[in-house]
Amino acid sequence: MPRLPEPQRWWTVPGPGAPAFPSGDELFTHLDGRFVRVGSIGWRIEIYSVWAEEMRWVQLALRGPSEHMLVLRVPLAANAAEILGEIEQWLRNPSTVDSVCSTTPCSAVPSVH
């Protein structure tokens, strides 16, 4: 059975002459240490890894008044601004964001000594 294409949302596939997809290193650099705000509350993003396997996967922590570990699955074409938008949307209303594949409150993550 052939695979159905992923539904298109806010991302686009570059056409001829368009810049290539952002690399994992570029996304890491543009996202790590950035702040996202929802209202007056802010979180600092810590990126752990960015990799590609048909889709782009981003493993990160949000450090702020509540702390979370997230794994996002976004298209290869997604840039840093679009990924930040997905994180902000998840912070506003987690049930509406389907790109977040895994979440764990940081208090539930065992510390490594």
Which pLDDT does position 17 carry in this prediction?
58
Round to whole Å and give the CA distance between 2 and 71.
27
End-to-end CA distance of the chain: 48
* pTM exceeding 0.85: no
Please give the chain's pLDDT, 113 residues, in tens.
455 444 444 444 555 655 578 889 999 999 999 999 999 999 999 999 999 988 999 999 999 999 999 999 999 999 999 999 999 999 998 888 888 787 776 655 444 44
Q: Where are the domains of the chain?
A: 24-107
